[in-house]
Amino acid sequence: MGQQDSVFMRTMIIVILGLVVLFVVIVIAARVVASGPSVSIDPTVVSKIEQQIEPVGKVELAGAAPAPAAGGKVDGQAVYQGTCFACHGTGAAGAPKIGDKAAWKARIAEGATTLYEHALKGFKGMPPKGGNTALADDAVKAAVDYLMAQGK
Ligand code: HEC
């Protein structure tokens, strides 16, 4: 072998050894990464995320405390649709139907105060607050106003 060939051979051996060492290092590094502590998420972070996505997974009860309409006044129509419609929309349980002027005439004549009382506390087949005790008094009154307006 000439001088040049042996230089070439030595260089080749160094390069090959370097590659082998590099390979071993990579394999060890891969092992360390793979067997290292598994990715753990802080439980407080998990519960925070759960809190934030909670409303999406919860079923909102229809008619439970509707949001006040713009201007701070309760939207009587919304309350009616959420709670009162079940009976007053259909006449179920002998309820005076909405818009049935004959059925509402005598009741309206009793005066709003009496009708508020009856709607809030119950009256014969009419359950207190229409059975939705979560409703605020003002919400029930607003619904009575709405029923009265439709029955005039
Ligand atoms: C479970 C059925 C039912 C629901 C729900 C219901 N009502 Fe009634 N309501 C009745 C019945 C039945 C009557 C008639 C009672 C009677 O005079 O015999 C009545 C009567 C009334 C009267 C007339 C009371 C009177 O003195 O003549 C008002 C006002 C009234 N309801 C308001 C409401 C409002 C407001 C809601 C919703 C918040 C509501 N009701 C939900 C059944 C219901």
- Report the domain count for the chain: 2
Nearest CA owner, ligand 1 atom 10: 126
Point out the residues of the chain with pLDDT beneath 70: 1-2, 36-41, 52-72
- Asked if residue 147 is part of any domain, the answer here is yes
- Asked if residue 60 is part of any domain, the answer here is no
Same domain for 81 and 140, yes or no, is: yes
Q: How far apart are CA 6 and CA 20, in angstroms?
A: 21
pLDDT on residue 119: 97
List residues near ligand 1 (CB under 6 A).
79, 83-84, 86-88, 92-96, 107, 110, 114-115, 118-119, 123-127, 129-131, 140, 143-144, 147
pLDDT on residue 31: 86
pLDDT on residue 102: 95
Ligand 1 midpoint to CA 130 (Å): 6
Domain membership of residue 138 as a residue range: 76-151
* CATH code for the domain of 83: 1.10.760.10
pLDDT on residue 60: 52
Nearest ligand 1 atom to the CA of 94 is 12
CB 82 within 8 A of CB 62: yes
Nearest ligand 1 atom to the CA of 146 is 35
pLDDT on residue 33: 79
Q: How far apart are CA 29 and CA 134, in angstroms?
A: 62
| Residue among 88, 100, 138 whose CB has most ligand 1 atoms within 8 A, to mutate | 88
pLDDT on residue 59: 52
Q: Among residues 93, 94, 69, which one has the least CA distance to residue 146? A: 69
Ligand 1 midpoint to CA 145 (Å): 12
pLDDT on residue 71: 56
- Whole-structure pTM over 0.85, yes or no? no
Same domain for 84 and 147, yes or no, is: yes
Instruction: Tell me which residue has tokens 């051996």.
Output: 13
pLDDT on residue 20: 95
- Asked if residue 14 is part of any domain, the answer here is yes
